[in-house]
Structure 1
């Protein structure tokens, strides 16, 4: 009779959960000791890095990844990263170790009250009632992670692994198939809204980040001749941002949002909420006369959308059918808003016009983040995955560095810091054919700096560009808006490159424009084949303005 551990490993193999991201503790040793050769173990030095790397790995592969956490301390340390995984809709199976089942009633040392510790962020949490139910719980977690697009937790007491398994009927489907076809009636209803609009616009979001969806939305936008906006604070790009119809990123306050969307009589959001905001402002989202509709694969997103029509659908199939319907309905018409034409309406020209990159700093002038990002944009291969976590420089990054391929941009949808370093490592491990660059603020980097050790240990070739201004610059600007003094100091003494070296990662610090160009010209051509992580800490002057 096989053990529960052996049966669980078979379930993991069936669900392609053969890479285990972990920071182990004693309650996990009975599972981890003597892992079979076909199970890869990836060590991270903090649970935030464990879940962050697993999140990047899952998003890069489009399939669930496996993380292992150590009872209360491990799960508690990982809750912020789990919340990011949920909002980023990353499918994760998370096994959480628990004390020995035989004396849990006495609450022994390291026993955890685990089921509610992560709150509502897991899409599913299960503590199997018997040891023999553990393999089935892992299978159910894999299905839940895939279908509900988030972390699914299984709490496993440490003695369960050695128990004999049972020969029982399958406790979960061996395979779970989801409908992928588009409902023809829903497609026609959305197509009719677009056909009736004189000045439509599209808003795209992270859920549209798929090759088929990109292709279909590009075809649709070109047929309509309409602008395409990216959702504010988007975790991924939903449309090629170097396309002439890409209009930019939506502002995150209602005043500017109404102004931006005012010229359009229909705004269709695809794979994005309607609409993500940051500072609260009174008033409606859009002006009277602007109709709103949303197509999403997230039922919760549809339920809370203040729109005339909400459709829940598999986006690649739906967008393909919508583009084909739009083509058929407009084939015999001459439309004033066809690509490049001017119909005399008040709608702005749809062509995406990126701002001119800043001039290099003059003699004695400091580097700014925009200088670094402009030079990076000139050199990045189109297939690069750029992982972002630089809040005060995000507007410059969006303006200067377009996502040109699916999965070209990745950020933390939750806004919690500590995502970019481990996520970039996981992305490169999950998609080794893609070059990966992380652009991170120095304050952000400190939340999971220990992730660099994992990159070194497993030879993950990522370039981490740290924009170092020695301040929490975005917080300083927000304090300025309140016209008051910030109580927090700067941290100019902190050397990110020094910490990287202490963790075994190659690192260099530059402060001048010529040095920057030399480093980028050396590093970026090597990036596609690199197995050597490197931190490039760039000293920059903090910008004095910030507009989310």
Structure 2
């Protein structure tokens, strides 16, 4: 069957635009997987380089270049280069990926507010109303780029390339209430929902990441004897993850999410979206037998929540009152903890979980782990639980380049607290220059870079699409070498024994060190063998 993708490629061919300059993300995988042989893919490691290369090509060839950018992060990173392209009068068609149409109303992970993000520099911005309008929008953008000599944008949801969007449950609460404090009536309403449930569960989110709310939710969970889950794609931990009632992190796929929530007749989310997703899947978030409710301090989060009752209130006081007013029950829940991985056999390469397990055995409980390793994040959550508020920090939006500078800022703001950044080498390259700041100002962060010489998460996503990824590996890049060039000390770790010796030396210094250090740890990009 002929798809929107096929028709769009034909438009590009018709105009001689068969080279795609890109730094793609997951929202662009449906377009790029199994790229036809007559289309050439050119990877650059930052969006400024993408647009810069396209600018030079367009000026030399005197025809529009094709640029592909990854949703908000990509377009935002490219804004300055797009301004240059406009003033240089370089024609280009800029395809900007967007999340799946099917759940944009709920602002899923990686959704972007893209129209206008490029400012006044685009000569045209197309936002096709239907998937079938995409090829025509690209054609109009080609003409606008040629006529007005500048970048023309086309914003394309990722599902447009292959299939139409699906309907979602209504993304709005049936009842929405606001309170400036712990309104007794609203506390009783929520407590009544919990008391009347036969098998309740809690979902904690980034909004609950403070000491008072942690303590209140731990008390509430104890009174209910119920599991507490962490929201999908949470940027911070909303509950002590070493607590015996912590059940784990909810998945970002609807089918698995429905399966996990099936045993519960009521799920109360606290400080979390309901329930933030990533790749779109058909069907509701929860089974029909599971009621959803929300307590949050974010009005926008409440307004798009598909729940029966949403309460907007300051969380520490409301949750403390809720814990006090909720009747205790005899039921108890204790979560099973995933086993720590066995050390690698002689000659076996290091996997990310070996590094994470070694860190977990050595880090102080108050360590702040700043994460940016998409392909290893699930194992990081399992092996490095947040044991104190602000024990985990990640990018809420998903644009790469967060971990290194954020870890520096955390350590500057809390100079006595241990800070470890765990990042993939692909992620680290987006803000590698932040290491100069750490070195210049004596910021004692340990940067653990899991180096596999590729965008492993992108390879995984392409494999799930059932096709071949066109982007190359970058194994020749040395993060340790780049760190040293920026004045930051660095070491390269290549084996398990070396890893353990290095961590044994370094972790006792985490609280008082004034010198940053990059540990570039060579890990395999291959998946772990079955347990």
| TM-score range for the pair, normalised by the shorter chain length | 0.5 to 0.7
| Aligned twin of 2:342 | 359
Indicate the residue corresponding to 2:484 in structure 1.
501
Displacement of 1:431 in angstroms is 1.1
Q: 1:207 to 1:76 in 2, by over 3 A?
A: farther
Shift of 1:225: 0.3
Residue from 443, 464, 484 that aligns with 1:460: 443
Answer whether contact 1:354 1:400 (CA < 8 A) is retained.
no
Q: Counterpart in 2 of 1:289?
A: 289
Structure 2 CA distance for partners of 1:74 and 1:213, relative to 1, 3 Å: farther
Whether contact under 8 Å (1:294, 1:307) holds in the other structure is yes
Structure 2 match to 1:430 = 413
Instruction: Please say if residues 477 and 545 of structure 1, whose CA atoms lie closer than 8 Å, have aligned partners that are also in contact.
Output: no
- Asked whether the 8 Å contact 1:419–1:448 carries over to 2, the reply is yes
Alignment of 1:220-369 (within 5 A): 220-326=220-326, 329-330=327-328, 335-337=329-331, 339=332, 350-369=333-352
Change (3 A) 1:517 1:180: farther
| Structure 2 SS opposite 1:491 | coil
Q: Is residue 541 of structure 1 aligned with residue 524 of structure 2? A: yes
Cα shift at 1:460: 0.5
Runs of 4+ in 1 over 4 A off after TM superposition: 72-77
Contact residue 461 and residue 532 of structure 1 kept, 8 A = yes
CA–CA distance in structure 2, aligned partners of residues 202 and 511 of structure 1: 41
Q: Secondary structure at the match of 2:294?
A: strand
Superposed CA deviations along residues 316-353 of structure 1, whole A, max 9, x for unmatched, are 01001101111xx34xxxx341x3xxxxxxxxxx3222
| Structure with bigger RCO (C-alpha 8 Å, 6+ apart) | 1
Q: Shift in Å at residue 543 of structure 1?
A: 3.4
Following superposition, the deviation at residue 544 of structure 1 comes to: 2.7
- Give the corresponding residue for 2:371: 388
**Length-normalised TM-score, structure 2:** 0.67
**Offset at residue 300 of structure 1 (A):** 0.5
Aligned partner of residue 497 in structure 1, secondary structure: helix
Instruction: Name the CA distance, whole Å, in 1 between partners of 2:415 and 2:83.
Output: 31
CA distance in 2, matches of 1:352, 1:249: 12
List per-residue Cα deviations over 1:509-542 (Å, max 9, x = no partner): 0110000001101111001001100000000001
Q: 1:479 aligns with which of 451, 458, 462?
A: 462
CA contact (8 A) 2:297 2:314 kept: yes
Decide whether aligned partners of structure 1 residues 506 and 182 sit closer, same or farther in structure 2, where only a CA change above 3 A counts: same
- Displacement of 1:545 in angstroms is 7.1
Distance 1:356 1:213 in 2: 29
**2:215 aligned with 1:215:** yes
Quote the Cα distance in structure 2 between the aligned partners of 1:454 and 1:319: 39
What CA distance in whole angstroms lies between the structure 1 residues aligned with 2:236 and 2:454? 27
The 1-side partners of 2:248 and 2:180 are apart by 30
- Aligned to 2:292, what secondary structure does the other structure show? strand
Alignment check: 8 A CA contact 1:242 1:352 kept: no
* Deviation at residue 184 of structure 1 after TM alignment: 1.1
> CA contact under 8 A between 1:232 and 1:251: conserved in structure 2?
yes
String of CA shifts for 1:25-58, please: whole Å, max 9, x gaps. Answer: xxxxxxxxxxxxxxxxxxxxx9x9xxxxxxxxxx
CA–CA distance in 2 between the matches of 1:464 and 1:76?
34
In the alignment, what sits opposite 2:389? 406
Distance 2:467 2:196 in 1: 50
CA contact (8 A) 2:229 2:250 kept: yes
1:60 corresponds to:
none
CA distance in 2, matches of 1:195, 1:423: 41
- Residue 258 of structure 1 and its aligned partner are, at CA, apart by 0.7
Distance in 2 between residues matched to 1:321 and 1:207, nearest whole Å: 17
Q: Cα deviations across residues 89-146 of structure 1 (Å, max 9, x unaligned)?
A: xxxxxxxxxxxxxxxxxxxxxxx969xxxxxxxxxxxxxxxxxxxxxxxxxxxxxxxx
Superposition RMSD in Å: 3.1
